[in-house]
Structure 1
Amino acid sequence: MDSEGNVKLRAARIAAGYGTQEALADAVDVAVRQVRRWESSTPPWPRDAVQRKLTSLLGQDMESLGFTPPASVPGQRDAQARELPRTQGMVTVPVPGITLQPATVGDDYADVTRRHRRLYWTVAPATLHPAVVAHTTLGCALLPETAGVTRRTVAAALAESFLLAGRIEFFDSRQPAAAKETWTRALQAAGQADDQLLGAAILAHTAFLPGWAGDRQAAVERMTAARTYARRGPASAPLLAWLDAVEAECETRCGHIQTALTLLGHAEDVLAAGTEHASPAWLDWFGPVRLAAFKGHTQLAAGHLPQARQTLIQVLDALEPREDKQRTVILGDLAAVEAADRNPEKACEYAVAALDQLRRTWYSTGMDRVREVRRALTPWQHETCVRDLDDRLYDWETTVSALGR
């Protein structure tokens, strides 16, 4: 070995995100002086338990890390299998013997994920979804080329990208089967990152699948799993309140309205009390206004029309300009309130406003709300306002958009 010491180990350490010898020592649970000896020109051969930690953290076999095995130890490069463990197409461990990506690849990959997160609120789902899926393909390719801190960073960003792709499939495009598969892969990636809170968020999203289908038992089981993961991490008040809101949505769709209202009341208390923990950056879909939106929908389902109307109008006024997708849902719910209150003209007014918004920003969940309102307006289908709504609901552009999606 040359006078610069064990450059192979040093390069692998830095590529895995351990910028200092102290950081690697902490990860392996050895003294810093031991790492200094490993990075010397004559590194000693570590004991078996330490070898396992090093190869796992750095994604290389011992010889690739610059160690020379004693004569009694067979060479690892020939003995170690190169077959990659996979789970539904995703490589789940670093590949021994490959050249690792630099440590910067983690932040670079995560930066694109963050940008997709922001684009979701304004870019058409049919435009954004292929880009997000391509990004997940890149993440799956990068994962076996990284190790240690870098791999956890890539895995967490990959999990978030899969989560976003599934959200587009479920909420924007109404493709629950595709969302189910995508969220399964998201959970696998979150496991590689060992990110408990991201796992909780993914599991809670999967509860929507049986919840919207009326399978209460399955939805409750998913939420139990989500809460278990949340307890393992430093969960913020908004995250805990969102879990209540998701379960309330599922209970509402399964006809357990009082249970849903109780959950929403608890969510309000949780938000009011707060916690010392900050919310993850990816939790950008929930806050007090969104909680009120959940509550208004459940009040509507409960037949509490004055309360629902007041809640939803307050939500509509409080929505930020970027929240156009949510605006279509609130307008649809307000239309449903007026239809239930036997006010077809006002119901049609809100429904037309929702269609105007959908023309600018498509959102299948919002269109579902409008269709539900139109079914509720059947007793007044010969009224002029309802016929005008039909003209808008079944014009060329809206009809083609709905069938195309």
Structure 2
Amino acid sequence: MESDGNVRLRAARIAAGYSTQETLAEAVGVAVRQVRRWESSNPPWPRGAAARRLAELLGQDLEQLGFTRPAGVPDQQSAHSRELPRTQGVVTVPVPGVTLQPATVAEDFAGITRRHRRLYWTVAPATLHPTVVAHATLGCSLLTETAGVTRRTVAAALAETFLLAGRIEFFDGREPDSARETWTRALQAAGQADDQLLGSAILAHMAFVPGWAGDRPAAVERMTAARTYARRGSSSAELLAWLDAVEAECETRCGHTQTALTLLGHAQDVLATGSEHTSPEWLDWFSPVRLAAFTGHTQLAAGHLPQARQTLLQVLDALKPSEDKQRTVILGDLAAVEAADRNPEKACEYAVAALDQLCATWYATGMDRVREVRRALTPWQHEHCVRDLDDRLYGWETTVSALGR
């Protein structure tokens, strides 16, 4: 043992993100003087729950942390060597190993996650997705080389990275099976971070898969889980309103539009009331304008055409320049309103505008809206406006772009 104390324990403590002895003592559940003794030149062997907690938080065995095992004390498997249960067909999030990265790795990794979050709104999904997946692979490796606060920070950023990858797969690539698997990994990472709000957001995204497939019981089950996680965390009004909106979307696709409208009305009340809690920074996909977009789509599905038209036009005017993906969806919904109102020329006008936007900013959800409109225009398929729409919809550029993505 070096004369300046237990340097192994001190180094592991700092690497795990516990910058002071006081923060480690609080995490372990012991007095500060106990940590001082452990970091002394002659540290006593930790006992009982404190020993297990110390090894778990710092990701190393006690002997690797600079302690000398007393005679007669058995060698037991430490917390960091336990494996998580494996899910069939899904790569599980690893548990910590013995090579620790410095505490700065957490912020470095999380910083890249934040940049990917912003890039999602402008970068082509086919270009961004491989980069996000590679970043997730790095995060899984870092989980084996970090512990304590550092590991939880990496795990939270990894959960968000997997969440983003799943969003690209589901909303941009129309790959629900891949998205479901990716979101399962996200949920595992959120569990490693013990982040209730991220868990809620991931579970709500997972509800989209059965919801869009018309499997209402499965969607409701996932939403119940999402609300349970939200209740355990410090949920903002925006997060709670978004949960209502997600469930409303699922109900709409399952044909329960009145239930959906009730949920959307509740979401508006939640936003109006507000909350003492602020939204997590990753909740960048929801706002009052986005709630109105959900509402307009449900009003359309319910056959409330004048209300849907008014709502969607207000949304279109309120969208920011950075919300071009959402713009394609709104234009598609406006086209559907006009088709349902037996106004094919106006419907085609909106559909062509959506195609123009899709050429600049691809979004599979927006293209789905245009295709739905074209099916609704079948009674007028010999009209010039519909034929012109077909020329755009099945032109070389659009067809190759859609198939290529």
Deviations 1:255-279 (A, max 9, x none): 0010000000000000000000000
CA contact (8 A) 1:158 1:186 kept: yes
The match for 1:388 is 388
Which amino acid in 1 is paired with 2:283?
A: L
C-alpha separation in 2, matches of 1:226 and 1:219: 11
C-alpha separation in 1, matches of 2:217 and 2:92: 30
Aligned pairs for 1:88-103 (under 5 A) are: 88-95=90-97, 98-103=98-103
Matching of residue 176 in structure 1 with residue 173 in structure 2 = no
Aligned pairs for 1:78-117 (under 5 A) are: 85-86=83-84, 87=86, 88-95=90-97, 98-117=98-117
Which amino acid in 2 is paired with 1:179?
A: A
The match for 1:154 is 154
Matching of residue 50 in structure 1 with residue 76 in structure 2 = no
C-alpha separation in 1, matches of 2:137 and 2:5: 37
Which amino acid in 1 is paired with 2:223?
A: M
Superposition deviation, residue 401 in structure 1: 1.6
The match for 1:230 is 230
Which amino acid in 1 is paired with 2:292?
A: A
| TM-score normalised over the length of structure 2 | 0.97
Superposition deviation, residue 74 in structure 1: 4.2
Matching of residue 5 in structure 1 with residue 21 in structure 2 = no
C-alpha separation in 1, matches of 2:21 and 2:398: 61
Matching of residue 246 in structure 1 with residue 246 in structure 2 = yes
CA contact (8 A) 2:55 2:79 kept: no
C-alpha separation in 2, matches of 1:31 and 1:128: 48
C-alpha separation in 2, matches of 1:84 and 1:178: 28
CA contact (8 A) 2:56 2:79 kept: no
Which amino acid in 1 is paired with 2:92?
A: M
Q: Which runs of 4+ in 1 moved over 4 A?
A: 79-84
C-alpha separation in 1, matches of 2:392 and 2:82: 54
CA contact (8 A) 2:56 2:80 kept: no
CA contact (8 A) 1:85 1:91 kept: no
Which amino acid in 2 is paired with 1:330?
A: I
CA contact (8 A) 1:90 1:140 kept: no
C-alpha separation in 2, matches of 1:18 and 1:196: 22
Change in CA separation of 1:91 and 1:267 when aligned onto 2, cut-off 3 Å: closer
C-alpha separation in 2, matches of 1:132 and 1:81: 30
The match for 1:273 is 273
C-alpha separation in 1, matches of 2:177 and 2:279: 29
Aligned pairs for 1:329-348 (under 5 A) are: 329-348=329-348
Deviations 1:207-262 (A, max 9, x none): 00000000111111110000000000000000000000000000000000100000
Superposition deviation, residue 84 in structure 1: 5.9
| TM-score normalised over the length of structure 1 | 0.97
Equivalent residue pairs, number: 401
Matching of residue 69 in structure 1 with residue 52 in structure 2 = no
CA contact (8 A) 2:59 2:80 kept: no
Please, what is the CA RMSD of the aligned residues? Answer: 1.3
C-alpha separation in 2, matches of 1:233 and 1:82: 26
CA contact (8 A) 2:55 2:78 kept: no
Change in CA separation of 1:82 and 1:337 when aligned onto 2, cut-off 3 Å: closer
Which amino acid in 2 is paired with 1:89?
A: V
CA contact (8 A) 1:236 1:278 kept: yes
Paired residue secondary structure (2:42): coil
Q: Percent identity?
A: 82
Superposition deviation, residue 397 in structure 1: 1.1
The match for 1:34 is 34
Superposition deviation, residue 90 in structure 1: 3.0
The match for 1:327 is 327
C-alpha separation in 2, matches of 1:386 and 1:128: 34
Paired residue secondary structure (1:145): coil
Aligned pairs for 1:191-202 (under 5 A) are: 191-202=191-202
Change in CA separation of 1:316 and 1:119 when aligned onto 2, cut-off 3 Å: same
C-alpha separation in 1, matches of 2:348 and 2:283: 34
Change in CA separation of 1:92 and 1:309 when aligned onto 2, cut-off 3 Å: same
Deviations 1:113-134 (A, max 9, x none): 0000000000000000000000
Superposition deviation, residue 140 in structure 1: 0.4
**Runs of 5+ unmatched residues, structure 2:** none
Paired residue secondary structure (2:46): coil
Which amino acid in 1 is paired with 2:324?
A: D
C-alpha separation in 2, matches of 1:269 and 1:65: 53
Moved more, 329-338 or 40-49: 40-49
CA contact (8 A) 2:236 2:276 kept: yes
C-alpha separation in 2, matches of 1:323 and 1:139: 29
